[in-house]
Amino acid sequence: MGLTSARRFSALMLTSALVAFAASEARAAFECPVTGGDLVFGQEAKVNSLDMHASSTISTRNIAMHMLEALLTRDEDNNPILELAKSVDVSDDGLVYTFTLRDGIKFHNGKPMTSADVAASFDRYKKVGIESVILSNVASWETPDPMTFVITMSQAQPTFLEDLSSFSVPIVIVPAELTNADPLKLEPVGTGPFEFVEFIADSHVKLKRYEDYVPNEQFEERTGFGGYKVACLDTVTFRIVTEPGARVAGLETGELHAVEDVPQASVARLEEDPNINIVPYENFWIHIATPNFAKPPTDDPLVRKAIQTALDMDEIMEAATDGAYNTNFGFQTQNRAVYSDSGQEFFNLKDADKAKQLLEEAGYNGEELVLLTNRDYTTMYNAALVMQAQLQAIGMNVRLEVQDWPATIATRDNQPDAWNYHFTGWGTNTSLGYLAVFKFLAKPRPIYNFANPEDTVADFDEAYHDMLNLTTFEERAEAFARAQYAVMEHGIALPFGWLTKNQATRANVHNFVPFRIPRMYNVWMETS
The residues of the shown chain that bind other proteins, judged by CB under 8 A, are 46, 48-49, 51, 54-57, 130-133, 168-169, 182-185, 200-204, 239-243, 245-246, 249-250, 252-253, 255, 376, 403-407, 409-411, 413-414, 428-429, 439-440, 444-445
CB 105 within 8 A of CB 212: no
**Rounded distance between C-alpha atoms, residue 449 and residue 460, angstroms:** 13
Taking the complex as a whole, how short is the minimal distance between the CB of residue 143 and other proteins, in angstroms? 26
CB 485 within 8 A of CB 266: no
Shorter beta-carbon distance to other proteins: residue 54 or 207:
54
Question: Strands, DSSP E only, in 233-275?
Answer: 235-240, 258-259
Taking the complex as a whole, how short is the minimal distance between the CB of residue 493 and other proteins, in angstroms? 14
Taking the complex as a whole, how short is the minimal distance between the CB of residue 400 and other proteins, in angstroms? 16
Taking the complex as a whole, how short is the minimal distance between the CB of residue 411 and other proteins, in angstroms? 6
Taking the complex as a whole, how short is the minimal distance between the CB of residue 205 and other proteins, in angstroms? 12
Determine how β-strand 138-145 pairs with β-strand 148-153.
antiparallel
Shorter beta-carbon distance to other proteins: residue 253 or 365:
253
Shorter beta-carbon distance to other proteins: residue 61 or 490:
61
Q: Give the phi and the psi of residue 10 in degrees, each rounded to 5.
A: -65, -35
Nearest to 92 by CA among 2, 6, 10, 204: 6
Shorter beta-carbon distance to other proteins: residue 210 or 381:
381
Shorter beta-carbon distance to other proteins: residue 346 or 405:
405
Shorter beta-carbon distance to other proteins: residue 257 or 356:
257
Shorter beta-carbon distance to other proteins: residue 131 or 315:
131
Taking the complex as a whole, how short is the minimal distance between the CB of residue 240 and other proteins, in angstroms? 6
Residue 207: other Cβ atoms inside 10 A: 26
Taking the complex as a whole, how short is the minimal distance between the CB of residue 266 and other proteins, in angstroms? 12
What are the start-end ranges of the H helices in 27-98?
58-64
Shorter beta-carbon distance to other proteins: residue 401 or 489:
401
Taking the complex as a whole, how short is the minimal distance between the CB of residue 281 and other proteins, in angstroms? 21
Within 8 A by CB and 6+ apart from 223, the residues are: 75, 76, 81
**Rounded distance between C-alpha atoms, residue 19 and residue 204, angstroms:** 42
Residue 26, exposed/middle/buried by CB under 10 A (0-12, 13-18, 19+)?
Answer: exposed
**Rounded distance between C-alpha atoms, residue 342 and residue 482, angstroms:** 7
CB 194 within 8 A of CB 521: yes
Shorter beta-carbon distance to other proteins: residue 85 or 259:
259
CB 308 within 8 A of CB 346: yes
Taking the complex as a whole, how short is the minimal distance between the CB of residue 32 and other proteins, in angstroms? 28
Alpha-carbon distances of 2 from 74, 170, 237, 434, 527, rounded to whole Å: 10, 19, 34, 12, 39
Shorter beta-carbon distance to other proteins: residue 44 or 312:
44
Shorter beta-carbon distance to other proteins: residue 33 or 245:
245
Taking the complex as a whole, how short is the minimal distance between the CB of residue 248 and other proteins, in angstroms? 9
**How are strands ordered across the β-sheet holding 138-145?**
85-90, 96-101, 148-153, 138-145
Sign of CA dihedral 40, 46, 49, 51: negative
Taking the complex as a whole, how short is the minimal distance between the CB of residue 23 and other proteins, in angstroms? 39
Within 8 A by CB and 6+ apart from 273, the residues are: 252
Encode 493-523: b = buried (16+ Cβ within 10 Å), e = exposed: bbbbbbbbbbbbbbebbbbbebbbbbbbbbb
Sign of CA dihedral 23, 27, 30, 31: positive
